[in-house]
Amino acid sequence: MKATISLGSNLGDRFQYLQSALDSINALTGTQVHSVSPVFETDPVGGPEQGQYLNAVAIVKTILSPEQFLAATQQIELEQNRERNEHWGPRTLDIDLLAMDSEVRSTPELELPHPRAHERAFVLLPWSLLDPDFVVPGKASVAELLEGLEISGIRFCNDLELVAHV
């Protein structure tokens, strides 16, 4: 399956948390990071006062089910000192499963596609650089969804490049 994920960090060595997450995902059985967007620094959206985020999107090929992949990424977050103390609060690492092929699911543990991805410019901008024509089930293409959103709080980090070590 093709999984699309977003990565974010606004605590500690933000870039290293993102790179470590990609390395950990590549280490999962039957899973390989296929492509990674450029890194962007973004203003926080919602939640309490907090620092700037580094954000990126990756496309991953995996044999894991959506539930198995979600559980694995949540374990990676924990291994990178992720604490869930405050809703939309600062974090060392946030990995969101945006879509898995064209799967549509709604369970207490998992909602596909991600319920807010279509309205988040900090997700759609990097995603549009990897897969602009992907149609978010029930919505529109990534490129079309990005068209109506404000992107002024998103800045390209030309000095940072995530690598999908294979």
Strand 40-42 relative to strand 154-156, pairing: antiparallel
Catalytic residues: 82, 91, 94, 96
The DSSP code sequence of the chain is: -EEEEEEEE-SSSHHHHHHHHHHHHHTSTTEEEEEEPPPEEE---SSSS--PEEEEEEEEEESS-HHHHHHHHHHHHHHTT---SSTT---S-EEEEEEETT--EE-SS-EES-TTGGG-HHHHHHHHHH-TT-B-TTS-BHHHHHHTS--TTEEE-TT-------
